[in-house]
């Protein structure tokens, strides 16, 4: 027999939840005290709830199982919502434990009293306030089961303080996870028929299909049927690099995505949604599937995407077909004044084997896919839900999940400031994370969005809302103040040397890359970047795009 918190921790461990990213308060003190009764549970303190939730997201993407968070009532959960939103969009399992007032205290409407369930529902498919110490462990088992899915989801268990401190709880074993079913045979047969037809067809891979087994099955199909492979625009976890099949990511800019998809007659979705524009723009399309193109969904989110893809591969007789694999190739060492492009080039030049790349570089990362396509095999974690402030926390989580792998976080200066406290956790936990902050002193992307939404005649007051100059952010001092060794690079030579040193030295490092904004200057200067960022773009398509964007 144990108190609620002790039994809860044991039940979490029984279900394979071994890490808790915490930011506790008084209502969570019994949970905190119980941590010493559960030595196998790694408790990682974060200094802001958005770090805890983003770290839980990054952890689960790499560990393939959920971590838990420990958050302080509705306000703590609220601070963590943006990164829980990213996890939800990426179908990433997370188990939130949110402390609450004791059940008999709520009627007094004390200062921190709030409607936690309402806050939780926005991001969680499963929400419950545990009603008694006796029922708590059953609730924990259900929460973890719901989080694991498939699909992975956010589950939020609200833990009243008296349920936590009450005696008489008993830990429970995990409930078995059911094997997800394959897609229906009729669906597989129908899509096999589409692949055998002569129509112009592409396969759009997302979610779990972007890991090696899914990529290999898709590449066999592609080689057999001559279809093109695309990856969703912001993948949860994308395994890529030399020796793996290549899939071209759908572009963020709808104008470019439309060019990629132009002329398609069939689009086969594997663990992915049909592409839509990130935002609506006056006079532009939201739904990016071209007219006349039929969309075929291989699997539902609850079905086994990879198994279904492998079955499809067999159905078209491609199981023995050789997939086309990416050749090893790296760009040379960049030279001269530092630019975002040269940072990406240096990353391609130096990326260590088996790295985890967290990409929240925004505009500065436009050239990253091209320069790293033939780098040693690596994983890319992207901003699945578009809520910025995810990169540094996700790097924390990925490094906790994979202590033997190098983690590289590429983050815009604006994005980094949402959750800059992540650096402190990296230092405290001695995580092998190299954080590169692109200091272009602006919310660069919003400058181009200002034009895209048609608000071109913006005045100085409007433009100042997108400008981070004055006071200039000093990321070296910020990092050093949180215990992370840091350096600033103005030239490609300085940056490359710093990156080399950082990868070679264990523990966290930060490099502030001082770069001009990719989108500063005229629209026409932007175009080459946009066009070259589309890997393997066929020349006629590139010409068509050029005409369209800059007639
Ligand atoms: C939670 C949240 N708040 C605000 C935004 C709007 N937003 C999108 S990009 C961006 C600026 C990104 O700036 P930075 O990271 O410096 O990259 P850059 O655009 O300069 O490449 C902002 C504020 C968002 N997407 N999510």
Q: How far is the CA of 530 from the centre of ligand 1 (A)?
A: 18
* Angle CA 422–144–53, to nearest 5: 15
Q: Place 357 in a pLDDT band, splitting at 50, 70 and 90.
A: very high
Three-class DSSP category at 178: coil
The 8-class DSSP code of residue 466 comes to T
CA 359, CA 416: separation in Å to the nearest integer? 12
Whether 349 and 328 have beta carbons less than 8 Å apart is answered as no
Which ligand 1 atom is nearest residue 468's CA?
16
Which bin fits 110, alpha (ψ -120 to 50), beta or left (φ > 0)?
beta
pLDDT in the model for residue 540: 58
Kindly list the protein residues whose Cβ atom lies closer than 6 A to any atom of ligand 1: 82, 362-364, 386-389, 412-415, 440, 442-446
Q: What is the pLDDT of residues 492-521, one digit of tens each?
A: 999 999 999 999 999 999 999 999 988 654
Segments of 367-485 assigned E as strands: 378-381, 407-412, 433-439
pLDDT of 19 higher than 90 = yes
pLDDT in the model for residue 451: 77
Residue pointed to by tokens 């941590």: 35
Which ligand 1 atom is nearest residue 414's CA?
16
- Lowest average pLDDT, out of 345-349, 438-442, 524-528, goes to 524-528
Closest CA to 315 of 428, 184, 226, 412: 184
Share of the chain above pLDDT 90, in %: 88
pLDDT in the model for residue 529: 45
Q: What is the pLDDT of residues 186-199, one digit of tens each?
A: 999 999 999 999 89
Averaged pLDDT for residues 111-124: 97
pLDDT of 319 higher than 70 = yes
- Lowest average pLDDT, out of 195-199, 449-453, 487-491, goes to 449-453
Which tokens go with 14? 């029984």
Whether 512 and 475 have beta carbons less than 8 Å apart is answered as yes
Atom 20, ligand 1: which residue's CA is nearest? 444
Q: How far is the CA of 81 from the centre of ligand 1 (A)?
A: 16
Beta strand 42-45 with 94-100 is unpaired
Which ligand 1 atom is nearest residue 388's CA?
26
- Lowest average pLDDT, out of 116-125, 208-217, 398-407, 461-470, goes to 461-470
The preferred substitution site among 279, 341, 366, 412 for testing ligand 1, maximizing ligand atoms within 8 Å of CB, is: 412
> Residues 6 or more apart from 245 whose CB is under 8 A from it?
215, 216, 218, 219, 222, 229, 323, 324, 325, 326
Residue pointed to by tokens 């071109």: 456
Whether 251 and 187 have beta carbons less than 8 Å apart is answered as no
pLDDT in the model for residue 547: 52
Q: Place 30 in a pLDDT band, splitting at 50, 70 and 90.
A: very high
This prediction has a pTM of: 0.95
Q: How far is the CA of 480 from the centre of ligand 1 (A)?
A: 24
Which ligand 1 atom is nearest residue 362's CA?
21
The preferred substitution site among 85, 362, 473, 514 for testing ligand 1, maximizing ligand atoms within 8 Å of CB, is: 362
Q: What is the pLDDT of residues 34-44, one digit of tens each?
A: 999 999 999 99
Atom 9, ligand 1: which residue's CA is nearest? 445
Averaged pLDDT for residues 57-82: 98
């Amino acid at each position: 027999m144990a108190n609620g918190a002790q039994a809860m921790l044991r039940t979490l461990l029984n279900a394979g939840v071994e890490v808790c990213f915490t930011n506790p308060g008084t209502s969570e003190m019994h949970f905190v005290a119980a941590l010493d009764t559960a030595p196998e549970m790694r408790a990682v303190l974060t200094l802001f709830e958005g770090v805890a939730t983003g770290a839980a997201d990054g952890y689960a993407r790499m560990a393939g199982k959920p971590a838990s968070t420990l958050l302080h009532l509705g306000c703590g959960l609220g601070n963590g919502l943006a990164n829980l939103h990213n996890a939800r969009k990426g179908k990433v399992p997370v188990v939130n434990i949110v402390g609450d007032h004791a059940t008999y205290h709520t009627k007094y409407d004390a200062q921190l009293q709030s409607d936690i369930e309402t806050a939780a529902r926005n991001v969680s498919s499963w929400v419950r306030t545990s009603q008694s110490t006796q029922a708590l462990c059953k609730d924990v088992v259900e929460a973890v089961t719901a989080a694991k899915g498939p699909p992975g989801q956010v589950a939020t268990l609200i833990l009243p303080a008296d349920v936590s401190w009450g005696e008489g709880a008993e830990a429970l074993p995990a409930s078995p996870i059911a094997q997800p079913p394959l897609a229906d045979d009729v669906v597989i047969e129908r899509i096999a028929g589409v692949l055998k037809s002569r129509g112009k067809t592409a396969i759009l891979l997302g979610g779990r299909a972007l890991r090696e087994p899914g990529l290999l099955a898709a590449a066999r199909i592609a080689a057999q049927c001559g279809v093109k492979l695309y990856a969703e625009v912001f993948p949860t976890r994308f395994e890529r690099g030399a020796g793996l099949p290549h899939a071209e990511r759908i572009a963020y800019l709808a104008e470019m995505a439309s060019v990629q998809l132009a002329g398609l007659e069939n689009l086969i979705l594997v663990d992915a949604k049909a592409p839509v524009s990130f935002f609506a723009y006056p006079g532009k399309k939201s739904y990016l599937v071209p007219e006349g193109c039929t969309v075929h969904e291989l699997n539902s989110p609850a079905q086994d995407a990879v198994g279904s893809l492998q079955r499809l591969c067999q159905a078209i007789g491609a199981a023995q077909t050789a997939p086309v694999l990416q050749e090893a190739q790296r760009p040379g060492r960049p030279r001269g004044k530092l630019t975002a492009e040269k940072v990406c080039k240096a990353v391609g030049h130096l990326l260590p084997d088996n790295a985890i790349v967290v990409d929240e570089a925004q505009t500065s990362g436009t050239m990253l896919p091209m320069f790293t396509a033939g780098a040693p095999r690596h994983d890319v974690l992207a901003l699945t839900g578009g809520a910025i402030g995810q990169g540094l926390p996700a790097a924390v989580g990925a490094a906790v999940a994979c202590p033997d792998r190098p983690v590289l976080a590429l983050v815009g200066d604006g994005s980094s400031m949402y959750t800059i406290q992540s650096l402190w956790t990296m230092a405290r936990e001695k995580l092998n994370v190299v954080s590169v902050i692109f200091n272009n002193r602006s919310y660069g992307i919003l400058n181009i969005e200002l034009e895209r939404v048609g608000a071109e005649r913006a005045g100085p007051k409007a433009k100042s809302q997108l400008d981070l100059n004055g006071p200039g952010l000093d990321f070296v001092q910020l990092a050093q103040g949180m215990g992370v060794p840091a350096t600033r690079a103005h030239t490609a030579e300085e940056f490359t040397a710093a990156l080399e040193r950082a990868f070679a030295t264990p523990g966290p490092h930060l490099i502030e890359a001082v770069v001009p904004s990719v989108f500063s200057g005229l629209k026409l200067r932007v175009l080459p970047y946009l066009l070259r960022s589309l890997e393997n773009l066929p020349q006629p398509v590139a010409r068509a795009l050029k005409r369209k964007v800059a007639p």
